[in-house]
Amino acid sequence: MKGKSSGSIVITLVFILIMLGGLVKVFMVMLGDEITGHREISFCREFLRTGGDLMDVVLKKKAFLKTGKVTLPKIVFTKGSEELIPTVNVKVFPKVPLRRIDVQIKGKTVNLRIRKIFLEPPGGSNHPIYASNGNKPIDKKSFPRLALGDYAGYQDFFLPNKAVLDKEGLSGFLYMELSGTIFSRQYRLPLGGIIRGKGVLYNNHNIVIRADTTFPDKIWLLSTRKIILEDNVRLDNAFLYANDDIYLGHNTRVCGIIVAAKGVRKKGNATYKENKAVLETFVTPSYCY
């Protein structure tokens, strides 16, 4: 019996040691992953700082205001890391009009990019249509219509849903549908509430702002069709632009610029106050893409 008992104990101990060895291995793998994760986070932070600094330099140089590509001297982020080559790529799209600046930092195992977008109103802020203050008739022949998919090549952020708006609001980016094609659909913001933050919402279909919704910050709404503001909507710093018409619901108030090829319709005591400051270049934050 003693022999059997001792054998059982040995087998049990061996089994426990195997289990412990497996747990130690799992722990070491997890620890290694965590250390790697921390290194990657640290590297990304350093890249964002450096990329941001390069972006600041670009913005101060007039030579970078036109379309072109410039490769800068090699840099090293941290001791012992590989050499990385930073490149600045500026692209100007006069038709939209839009200017995009990309800073890319590339090496054998690294390819990181940071982007900033500069948006002008369709036709440019000095176009005669912006002197019409939303009430006078517009010369349709000179109206710079938004074309299908005009902004599709620059979409890095989708039109936000209710969950995103409730949690984060808007973060200053150009938001649009994924497709940017004939398959786009009407965009309806959630009913009511205050939506913080600025942004440009572009849609190849109608844009509908639901009743009792307030945007206190700078907002651009660009639609290839209609823009509909339901009752009791407040847009304190807004630029509204539609290829069709724009509807202002009862007790809706807009401060900014309204331009619609087919005019503006109002219900009840809807009011509009001009503020041309909203036509100033809309600049997004720098972001990785």
Q: Three-state secondary structure along 202-244?
A: EECCCEEECCCEEEEEEEEEEECCCEEECCCCEEEEEEEEECC
Most confident range (mean pLDDT) of 93-97, 182-186, 264-268 is: 264-268
The Cα–Cα gap between 146 and 241 comes to 9
**Quick count: other Cβ atoms within 10 Å of Cβ 22?**
10
Provide the token pair at 136: 């006078």
The answer to whether residue 227 scores a pLDDT higher than 70 is yes
- pLDDT score for 135: 53
Provide the token pair at 274: 């001009």
pLDDT band at 119 (very low <50, low <70, confident <90, very high): very high
In residues, how long is the chain? 289
The Cα–Cα gap between 123 and 157 comes to 23
pLDDT band at 27 (very low <50, low <70, confident <90, very high): very low
The Cα–Cα gap between 173 and 168 comes to 12
CA 159 to centroid of chain Cα atoms? 9
Average pLDDT, the chain: 77
Note the pTM of the prediction, 2 decimals. Answer: 0.78
The Cα–Cα gap between 112 and 174 comes to 21
- pLDDT score for 142: 75
For residue 71, give Cα distances in angstroms to 60, 112, 150, 173, 277: 17, 15, 29, 27, 36
Q: What is the rounded average pLDDT of the residues 232-253?
A: 96
pLDDT band at 169 (very low <50, low <70, confident <90, very high): very high
pLDDT above 90 coverage of the chain, percent: 34
What contacts 287, CB < 8 A, 6 or more positions away?
Answer: 114, 115, 116, 156, 173
The Cα–Cα gap between 68 and 235 comes to 38
DSSP conformational letter for 192: S
